[in-house]
Amino acid sequence: MEGRSLMVAVPLLILTLFSELCNGGYVGVCYGRNADDLPTPDKVAQLVKLHDIKYVRIYDSNIQVLKAFANTGVELMIGVPNSDLLAFSQYQSNVDTWLKNSILPYYPATMITHVTVGAEVTESSDNVTSLVVPAMVKVHYALKKVGLHKRIKVSSTHSLGVMSRSFPPSAGAFNSKYASFLKPLLEFLVENQSPFMVDLYPYYAYRDSSSNVSLDYALFSSTQGVIDPNTGLVYTNMYDAQLDAIYFALMGLNYKTLKIMVTESGWPNKGSPKETAATPDNAQTYNTNLIRHVINDTGTPAKPGEEIDVYIFSLFNENRKPGLDSERNWGLFYPDQTSIYSLDLTGRGNVDVVTGENVTSTNGTWCIASSNASELDLQSALNWACGPGNVDCSAIQPSQPCYQPDTLISHASFAFNSYYQQNGATDVACSFGGAGMRTDKNPSYENCIYPTSGKLRTANSTIAALSPMPQSGSPPTRALEALLLVLCLLFGLVIP
């Protein structure tokens, strides 16, 4: 009887876990590297892991980056640059060699899930649109030959420039001059169950037409809706309007079930004098509201409740990008790995913006090391806090007030709290990948005083952690989903 009860209980537990874990679209971050002052890939991987970012997009297949993300649990979207499309489209051997030398040696330790073949090719000055689908087909075939075509999805990213109309959303239509390019591409995506990838930037819609688009509408902050006259659907933000224009354009071509993935979206933190909306506050507002929109599965007016995966652009400012100042300032982090503004990637926490030179501990709270954290995690977090985290760790050096007790958990607690207080005393600033925990009991002792305030940068350069440990409903990795599914099937469950 006990065995039978266990056989019933275990599948039910697994099904519950499976149901909870699979909820929600996910939020990733783009890792562009068009700069000469960025940290090394291994340090970037540490930063990403520390802040519990699970999904990262890069724009090539740089070997150092692939190596750096090995065994991190981060799912990686890699890219074939436009400059490689000719070689990839011409000869299968070129693609096979690329796969053999640049991908297979690092997979599956590096969890590659998508390959973007070309990026926003309709914006390219070179006429490379005709090369995209042939290159995609060859990449897919190369993956198929090694049995990875179902694990690594192949697609290509697009800008809104692929559209001829995007307003009202119900009138969304692709530009007819790209028909010969889009038709085989869409057929490929459907056949191989790959997503249609698009980069959406309400910032540009506002910047280029501020007389017609309000800033609040672009920032998800509008209290007034824009009505689509054809459908009666009400839009309270530009992002939804742009996304639904894509949906309607696809439906117009009878591609009603094709999944859309937003591979770039964000807001610049700085711009030229005329780009007055490019500020840290607006960037924080847009990205915070976007994250909540995604995590809550808000969907769009035309697709309510739709799960949509989004990648925020970008991890760092990129000082070598051409164009207006805003083009170089989309980052979440400075090159020294401190945050440009406070951001909660979970979409559930409160966002605090530090506006003064000093900050006092919120509600008399402190951050200490968790007794459940492993020594490895504590040491890694301590090293980061005293290094890239810019914490003054002199107090835990020999002969200093907080050196004794000379234990890892004591030293980590002091460093964690210093970082926490310096960064607004928010939940995310006490994350440390789950190694930190908040307390309302003052951990100070004898001459070792745990600060409740600390010198900070100005409001335009607030340091903050990006994301705490996953909460209920956070998206799991594909591997965990697969494992749970297999377990469910072993117990004879049918998952609808």
Rounded to 5 degrees, φ, ψ at 445 are -150, 145
- Which pairing describes strands 153-158 and 196-199: parallel, antiparallel, or unpaired? parallel
- C-alpha span between 358 and 84 (Å, rounded): 50
Alpha-carbon distances, residue 363 vs 341, 463, 468 (angstroms): 22, 20, 20
One-letter amino acid at 379 equals: Q
- C-alpha span between 372 and 435 (Å, rounded): 8
Is residue 75 part of the annotated active site? The answer reads no
Is residue 264 part of the annotated active site? The answer reads yes
The dihedral built from the CA positions of residue 395, 401, 407 and 412, taken in this order, carries a sign that is negative
Structure tokens at 29: 């971050």
Q: Closest by alpha carbon to 192, among 223, 244, 142, 152?
A: 152
- C-alpha span between 14 and 491 (Å, rounded): 10
Number of other CB atoms surrounding residue 61 within 10 Å? 21
Q: Compute CA 243 distance to the chain's CA centroid, rounded to the nearest angstrom.
A: 18
Q: Tell me if 196 sits within 8 A of 155, measured CB to CB.
A: yes
- Say which residues have a Cβ less than 8 Å from residue 320's Cβ, sequence separation at least 6: 34, 35, 36, 328
Q: Which of 120, 187, 306, 307 is catalytic?
A: 120
DSSP letter assigned to residue 316: B
Q: Compute CA 67 distance to the chain's CA centroid, rounded to the nearest angstrom.
A: 20
Q: Closest by alpha carbon to 430, among 367, 478, 383?
A: 367
SS3 of 144-191: HHCCCCCCCEEEEEECHHHEEECCCHHHCEECHHHHHHHHHHHHHHHH
The residues pairing with 260 across neighbouring beta strands, listed in sequence order, are 196
Structure tokens at 212: 């017609």
Q: Which of 191, 264, 318, 481 is catalytic?
A: 264
- C-alpha span between 276 and 235 (Å, rounded): 25
- 87, 88, 94, 100 alpha-carbon torsion, rounded to 10°: 140
Q: Active-site positions?
A: 120, 264
